[in-house]
Amino acid sequence: MNNLNDRLNEIKKIFNIGIYKSAEALSKLINKPVMINIPEIYLKSLEETFDLLGQVDEKAVSIYMRVKEGLKIGVLLLMNEDSAKKVVKYGAKVDFPEGSDYFIGVLEEICNILISYFLNTLANSLKVKILPDVPDFAIDMKGAIFDFVLAEHKNESLKVLLVITDLISDDNFKISFLIIPEDDTIEKLLIKR
């Protein structure tokens, strides 16, 4: 049971519960059913990780939260502009102009709640204390957002463990959920559990 694939599956299960809780929270916030794609887990070289993103120069709206203490991981939510508009519209029940302070504030708050649900579940199931940073916001090319996140992680081994799934609701609304553990966390998750 000690081979790499078993370990990766175990990690995926742990993250799965958190993602499920996040989807539940989103469903309550927007008052719509939310489905989750089966999460995929990848342990890949940094170059290959970019291939998973699809078009790296596509415009995306993102919220990123990094956990620096406890379990070191980054959580990145990516969506296209249309989905971001829908999150704000359904969540706030008001049509704020896109890119306005209110728009960004509501989007950040909703994404913050989703990530917090995920991290709380993770902290409980792994019995670790998790202290996240303040979430950060960007609207830019997907690749530019992602290379910043990876560079901030200072991934010395140039290997990336990545869990990707999508939260999907009706009306073509999709939020991609990316979980990126840092190097020493990968070791912890792979070896100690």
Partner 1 sequence: MNERNTHYVKIGNAVWAKSPDVLYCKGLGSCVAVCLYDASKKKGCILHILLPYGDDESKPYFYANLGIAKALRECQKFGMSIDKVWAKIIGGACVFSRVDESNGIGIRNVNEVKKWLKLYKIPIIAEDVGGKSGRNLIFNLETGEIEVFTLQKGIIKI
Please count the residues of this chain forming the interface with partner 1, following the rule CB under 8 A: 27
- Which of these, 112, 114, 120, lies nearest to 169 by C-alpha position? 114
Nearer to partner 1, 57 or 191 (CB): 57
Angle at 37 between CA 31 and CA 41, to 5 degrees: 135
Instruction: Using DSSP, state whether 2 is helix, strand or coil.
Output: coil
Nearest CA-CA partner of 76 in 49, 97, 99, 102: 49
Pick one of 23, 34, 39, 64: the residue that binds partner 1 (CB under 8 A).
64
Please list every residue from 20 through 59 that binds partner 1, using CB under 8 A: 46-47, 50, 56-57, 59
* CA atoms of 65 and 137, how far apart (whole Å): 9
> Of the two residues 10 and 136, which places its CB atom closer to partner 1 in the complex?
136
What is the smallest separation between the CB atom of 148 and partner 1, expressed in angstroms? Answer: 4
Calpha distance 132→119 (Å, rounded): 8
Residue 47 or 97 with smaller CB distance to partner 1: 47
Collect all residues with Cβ–Cβ distance below 8 Å to 51 and sequence separation of at least 6.
Answer: none
Nearer Cβ to partner 1 (23/115): 115
Q: Whole-number minimum distance, CB 117 to partner 1, in Å? A: 22
- Site mask, partner 1, residues 119-158, x = CB under 8 A? ---------------x-xxxxxxxxxxxxx-xxx-x-x-x
- In whole angstroms, how close is the CB of 106 to partner 1 at the nearest point? 15
Yes or no: say if 152 and 66 are a contact pair by the CB < 8 Å rule.
Answer: yes
Minimum CB distance to partner 1, residue 144 (Å): 2
Task: Give the integer Cα–Cα distance in Å for 64 and 146.
Answer: 10
Interface contacts to partner 1, rule CB under 8 A = 46-47, 50, 56-57, 59, 64, 134, 136-148, 150-152, 154, 156, 158
